[in-house]
Amino acid sequence: MNSPRRIIRLKGNRTTRILYECEDFLLAEKPEGIPVHETKDPNRIDFTRLLANHLHIPNLRTVNRLDLGTSGIVLLGKNQNKNSELDNLLKEAEKTYLFICEGIPEWNEYRMECFLKEGNKEVNVVRSGGKKAITEFSILQTDKKENICLGLAKILTGRRHQIRVMLSTLGFPILGDSLYGKQENQESRMYLHSFRFYFTDLLGEKQMVQTDVPIEWKSRMPSISNISISI
């Protein structure tokens, strides 16, 4: 049975929310600026270990990955016997992200299909030799004075840096993305947030988890406070 949402204060003055929890897995909200799982540096703290230590679940497993600067919904497995089922749950889930990008597109909705190939640090759009990537973008609100806009990105494939690379290729890089956007980045964070997760649980029931718009986004783009993001 799904337990009620609850706020957890982790070490390092970080806060997360458990958005959904059952016997086999949970969905939690990762803060930006922290790795989602262990890195090559064993002394570098990560979100999964912080949460595992707090909840006393030593085998907590990161099922889906978010970039360092991306915040939002993370799926974490609690039962090692359900690894394959949770991998399939993630594959079949509908995942939607919020973003603020630089510039204002002429379109309100856009479906992008391309092939992505991973390099050492960056991911590139290629004509051949890459993996198919599909994202559906929609613009929710624009700020002409700041030349930025708020949008939704529904990913139909799960490639590394997929949304970041696609928006940059379209000419509208994510605000605060120093890898695919402006190198002289002066933003306090990267404005990409895993916002909505629609899935079928292990009992075959349809479920939907959605977060709030991060508070700091509303100071960067005040008009966000007046927007209602429909399901």
CATH number at residue 144: 3.30.2350.10
Element (H, E) at 227: none
Q: Kindly state whether residues 184 and 99 are assigned to the same domain.
A: yes
* Rounded-to-integer distance, Cα 185 and Cα 78, Å: 38
User: Are 66 and 82 within one domain?
Assistant: yes
* Any domain includes 230: no
Instruction: Decide if 112 is inside a domain.
Output: yes
59-114 confidence digits (pLDDT tens): 999 999 999 999 999 999 999 999 999 999 999 999 999 999 999 999 999 999 99
Here the tokens at position 201 are 């649980």
Q: Is residue 126 assigned to a domain?
A: yes
* 124 and 58 both lie in a single domain: no
Same domain, 82 and 44: yes
Last residue of one domain, picked from the residues 35, 68, 92: 92
- Tokens in use for 64? 């889906």
Question: In a 3-state reduction of DSSP, which class is residue 76?
Answer: strand
Task: Tell me what the mean pLDDT of segment 206-224 comes to.
Answer: 91
Q: Which of 53, 27, 28, 23 is nearest to 38 (CA)?
A: 53
Q: How far, in Å, CA of 155 to CA of 120, rounded?
A: 23
In this structure, the answer to whether residues 35 and 74 fall within a common structural domain is yes
Q: How far apart are CA 76 and CA 20, in angstroms?
A: 10
How many whole angstroms separate alpha carbon 203 and alpha carbon 44?
Answer: 36
Reported confidence tier of residue 171, pLDDT bands at 50, 70, 90: very high
Residue given tokens 């570098």 in the structure block: 44
* Residues above pLDDT 90, as percent of the chain: 77
Residue 14 counted as domain residue: yes
CA 72/CA 62 separation, integer angstroms: 14
Q: Which segment of 2-11, 82-91, 182-191 scores lowest on mean pLDDT?
A: 2-11
Domain with 173, as residue range(s), is 93-197+215-223
Q: Does residue 83 sit in the same domain as residue 109?
A: no
Closest to 108 (Cα-Cα) out of 67, 137, 144, 71? 137
Q: Which of 66, 92, 118 is the last residue of a domain?
A: 92
Task: Assess whether 111 and 153 both reside in one domain.
Answer: yes
Helix ranges (DSSP H) in 7-161? 47-55, 83-92
Q: What single letter denotes the amino acid at residue 48? A: T
**Which of 92, 118, 140 represents a domain boundary (last residue)?**
92
The tally of domains found in the chain comes to 2
Does the predicted TM-score (pTM) go above 0.75? yes
Domain-located, residue 206 = no
